[in-house]
A and B are shown apart, each in its own frame.
Chain A
């Protein structure tokens, strides 16, 4: 007899449907699994046999062939156990096979028949809903997360036995509790004590810039000698960003779960700070072992590149597509994939290789070193930076903090709300994402501002692209101050933080 069950396998960040077909025929007792299964799947034979017998069912002493279709997709992990066991029981007539067609089954089996969680429950739930299946049966500990997905009923099961009960039309284990859980907890981001902006003494200009960057999702470059607080500031950026929306939280959780970095529901925005020795494959993903790179893990969060000038050139070049398009398309020998990668870039750099340029006479870098440093920074990446902040040694050691995380976050949230209201219908949520046409519609300068912009252009301070950047930043400054128009003061502040390099970089050389 033949039976077919539905489950899913995980390949990088993609979830692929797998049909488990089991055929039982008379013959010498044998159990073979075909269809590109990896070692954990092949070992499923022993687990499934023991689980079936220990649950009080009979393991057919005949010739069993299990095919995992489609045959050309590699199947990985032990999550296919439950589907395999149910298909065998259905094929041998020990349970009804009619409901197998509408159920997705996910989970690893223990030898005693207990159902264990396998990673990627949220992603599998999304894929199952998309495939049009009615119910997803999975381990109890994963039910709450999977229940966040709309359009599919989640049926938690404690063991193989309860799974069969559900397939026969019985109730799930602990199902009623799930209904209340459909919604994200409203205060997902509350109640955690991360680093606080109140700990940053002095450096008011840089703190302002940080808030500005968070408000408009602008990319930020911090430059300054060691010990001026570049890393300290960057670490506090994630805490002043608006909390994840339910949709964003699901996206982030899905990525982390599929990458095997934990199944817990994401509550704060990711903050990824890879070391500068990272390779291109590490940053964008796609090497044999890890398909998910730092850029993807920073989705909906912050990617912080400390010591920007020390990163390998290919790694930095690879950032251009995600910065521009918010997604990452990679093609490797094993296949091609498109990943979401919308993040804020925050970079920090020393002003020169030794770190002390401009700090009295302390710098002892040679001419060529300085030139090389400048060249590395002024590459294509600097073109994607909206704000450049120079930090200098704080002279006033008793300087107070400008603000706290709580207050800064309120300002950011308000500014984001104003942006969202104004940009409704533009298809973008934040000022940083405005294109030239949107800029024309949403940025109207007063007379003094117009004059300033014209002069700045004539003086060679701005390129055409630089002009757009400055206008976007000016729009965010106006939003922070709840000003419907962009006034000259907003433009002036944006100009003072523009990333164009100094006069001797551009004019004299």
Chain B
């Protein structure tokens, strides 16, 4: 039953191979995968989910397994290391490993993680700073642009960025970090190599070159809804600061902030327009004392760092907005103030053609972008 080389697993003693999890931790992740359907019943109640995930193996079986209790207990007792699925490119690291992030050794944090991508990025987590960028999956163009620009700025100044590999803010943040080949971390709701929805596969390939994907389930386990909440808890634990970019004022969308708060991490939020329901959640956080974030430099200040000299930028841009002609500056200001459709921008203009030209020029130098419904969005540059 016990493999000869497997370490006993006393807390604190590291296994011989730095990238090999001990069998007890492997067994733990197997057990959680077995109980995944039961865990899904409590996915909406995050406090209960965290309490369940903090239980020991025996209590977890007792609490969740129902009629399968006896069968699971028996299989748990007879668990053999080779039963754990192995997959190329995926490493398993458990909490008994020295390189395991110390932030994950307490409470409901997972006992072990499967890591894909640049493993150094994971090992760096304990040393470097990490900022979580979170928000609605149904974000506006403004929110996605902010998420992208924040991640890009932070990654360029050497801070790791964590986000969920989901539509909206998470994907935008991971894409932003990938643009400058920064360290990015995401947690998948299911096992690795399976959980990525097809539409995110290219994004995942890009950011995995310099970042890593984490999962607490064995490779190949299917993802369920509770996996998103569980992923939020891992990211909240790893990050020193959690920045909410855009969120409705609902417990579900504000969960990352709540998790970070309960773990004693700082919470920051990006303001939006007061009338926008998508910013209601972040405004509620700000009103409740969250730090205000206007750009990457605000977050760096929260981390106790100074803003970077000059980040690597794409820029065909001939300098910042200050060097633009008055007409372009005025137009940029109008778009920023919410006049973002072609119809409104050209309404009343004597020469609609010159407005269109100015818009295209702003787009061509990277200060404006066209969003999903043809609405223009100001970009933050770097």
A→B interface (CB under 8 Å): 202-206, 208, 223-224, 351, 357-358, 360-361, 367-368, 370-371, 375, 388-390, 392, 394-396, 452, 455-456, 458-459, 461, 477, 488-493, 495-496, 500-505, 507-509
Contact A459 B366 (CB under 8 A): yes
The residue that B352 contacts in the complex, of A208, A388, A392, with Cβ under 8 A, is A208
- B101 contacts partner chain A, Cβ-Cβ < 8 Å: no
B138 contacts across to A, CB distance below 8 A: 367
Contact A459 B363 (CB under 8 A): yes
Chain B count of residues within 8 A CB distance of the other chain: 48
Q: How far is the CA of A395 from the CA of B364 in the complex (A)?
A: 29
Whether B364 contacts A351 by the Cβ 8 Å rule is no
Q: List 30 A-B contacts (CB under 8 A).
A: A203-B343, A205-B346, A223-B373, A351-B372, A361-B278, A367-B167, A389-B374, A390-B373, A390-B374, A390-B375, A452-B361, A452-B364, A455-B316, A456-B360, A456-B364, A461-B363, A461-B364, A489-B357, A491-B360, A492-B357, A492-B359, A492-B361, A493-B352, A493-B357, A500-B370, A504-B172, A504-B371, A508-B148, A508-B175, A509-B203
Are B347 and A204 in contact (CB-based, < 8 A)? yes
Residues of chain A with a CB closer than 8 A to B166's CB? 367
The 0/1 profile, CB within 8 Å of A marked 1, for residues 326-362 of chain B is 0000000000000001111011000011101111110
| CB neighbours of A491 from chain B (8 A) | 357, 360
Interface SS of chain B? helix
Within the assembled complex, what's the spacing in Å between the Cα atoms of A102 and B91? 89
Is there contact, CB below 8 Å, between B364 and A459? yes
A478 CB to nearest chain B CB (Å): 11
Give the most central of A351, A358, A368: most B CB within 10 Å.
A358
Whether, in the assembled complex, B232 has its beta carbon less than 8 Å from a beta carbon of chain A, the answer is no
Asked if residues A490 and B373 are in contact (CB atoms below 8 Å), the reply is no
Sorted nearest first, the 4 A-B pairs with minimum C-beta distance are: A390-B374, A492-B357, A358-B373, A455-B364
| Distance of A367 Cα from B138 Cα, bound (Å) | 7
- B6 in the interface (beta carbon within 8 A): no
- Chain A residues within 8 Å of B82, by CB: none
Residues of A within 8 A of B343 (CB): 202-206, 392, 394
Q: Once bound together, how far apart are the Cα atoms of A223 and B347, in whole Å?
A: 19
Q: Indicate whether B127 reaches chain A with its CB closer than 8 angstroms.
A: no
Question: Is the CB–CB distance between B148 and A495 below 8 Å?
Answer: no
Give the residues in chain B near A204, CB-CB below 8 Å: 343, 346-347, 352
Residues of A within 8 A of B364 (CB): 452, 455-456, 458-459, 461, 495
In contact, A489 and B172 (Cβ under 8 angstroms): no
Q: Please name all residues of chain B whose beta carbon is closer than 8 Å to the beta carbon of A390 when the two chains form the complex.
A: 341-342, 373-375
Q: Which chain B residues border A361 with CB–CB below 8 Å?
A: 277-278
Q: Are A459 and B342 in contact (CB under 8 A)?
A: no
A492 touches which of B137, B200, B356 (Cβ 8 Å): B356
1/0 per residue, CB under 8 A from A, across B159-180: the answer is 0000000111001100110000
Q: How far is the CB of A72 from chain B (nearest CB, A)?
A: 52
Asked whether B323 is an interface residue with its Cβ less than 8 Å from the other chain, the reply is no
B14 to chain A, nearest CB (A): 39
For A204, A223, A224, A455, which residue has the most chain B Cβ atoms within 10 angstroms?
Answer: A455
**Does B95 interact with chain A (Cβ within 8 Å)?**
no
Docked Cα-Cα span, A492 to B354, in Å, equals: 8
Q: Do the beta carbons of A495 and B167 come within 8 Å of each other?
A: no
A361 to B278: give the CA distance in the assembly, Å. Answer: 8
- Per the bound structure, the CA–CA distance linking A203 and B344 in Å amounts to 10
Q: B263-277 CB contact bits vs A (8 Å, 1 = yes)?
A: 000000000000001
Cβ contact within 8 Å between A503 and B371 = yes
Any A CB within 8 A of the CB of B44: no
Beta-carbon nearest neighbor of A375 in chain B:
B199
Bound together, the chains give a CA A203 to CA B360 distance in angstroms of 20
**Chain A CB within 10 A, most for which of B203, B352, B363:** B363
A85 to B125, CA, bound (A): 97
Known: A455-B364, A508-B148, A509-B199. A493 touches B372 (CB 8 A): no
Contact B373 A367 (CB under 8 A): no
Min CB distance B377 to A, Å, is 7
Assembled-state Cα–Cα distance A248/B369 (Å): 43
Contact B370 A367 (CB under 8 A): no
Instruction: Verify A488–B137 contact, CB threshold 8 A.
Output: no
Q: CB distance A504 to B342 under 8 Å?
A: no
Known contacts: A204-B346, A357-B373, A492-B358. The answer to whether A456 contacts B341 by CB under 8 A is no
Cα distance A224–B377 in the bound complex, in angstroms = 18
B372 touches A357 (CB 8 A): yes
A459, B365: Cβ atoms closer than 8 Å = yes
* Contact B361 A509, beta carbon cutoff 8 Å: no
